[in-house]
Amino acid sequence: MSHCHDEHCDHEHEDLPEAGEQFLLYSRIDHDNVRCLNEQEPESGKKVIRPWNERMDNAKFLESDADEQLIVFVPFTGNVKLRSICLRTDRGDAAPSQLKVFINREDVDFDVAETYTPVQTWELVQGSDDVIEYGTRITKFTNVRNITLFFPENFGEDTSIIRFIGFKGEWTEVKRDPIITVYEANANPADHKIPGAENKMDHSIQ
């Protein structure tokens, strides 16, 4: 069961059998370029971003290394209107207690994260084994190309543990320049001698 932690979040979809997969953006993530700072095991940050049906898998998890802080950078393959962030963390004190989010920045490290104002901050739920859904202020998340999740602290342990990260929203393909697309997609009518072709123009963009 997922829980929405934002007053603007729409609860109607939670009753549908496919609620977990609705609007899920797993297939729209550029997984090869996901990166994590302060992960104890290399590539473990990528492993917690997985399909919804694997959300309860405890064999794969992300644990911080030097301290409790974690940064996870997630690029998308297009533009995203992000509706919510789905998290499953540790049930104990190793669960992160706060999340700060930055969008469309590729330079966020721990110094930047502590200095710049995040787009949104959430106080996270402790002691749950469920996937918790944190709703965004949608007007600030309408054109997301990448997102950086900064977990600055936890509930008291030396390291932090995250077991699942997911995103819900709407994805739009990034289109190339329409002029270039039309030019490349259309043959020259003069090459084909089609009667009347010179009077027609195809405006469709593939």
Question: Do residues 104 and 168 make contact, with C-beta atoms less than 8 angstroms apart?
Answer: no
- CA angle, 42 as apex, 72 and 20 as ends, to 5°? 50
Per-residue pLDDT of the chain (206 residues; tens, 9 = 90+): 444 554 334 333 333 334 455 689 999 999 999 999 999 999 999 999 999 999 999 999 999 999 999 999 999 999 999 999 999 999 999 999 999 999 999 999 999 999 999 999 999 999 899 999 999 999 999 999 999 999 999 999 999 999 999 999 999 988 766 655 455 555 555 555 544 444 444 444 33
- Global model pTM greater than 0.75: yes
Q: Residue 174 burial by CB count (10 A; 0-12/13-18/19+): exposed, middle or buried?
A: exposed
Domains along the chain with CATH numbers: 2-174 (2.60.120.470), 175-206 (no CATH)
Over residues 39-55, the pLDDT tens digits come to: 999 999 999 999 999 99
Report the distance separating Cα 11 and Cα 25, nearest Å. Answer: 19
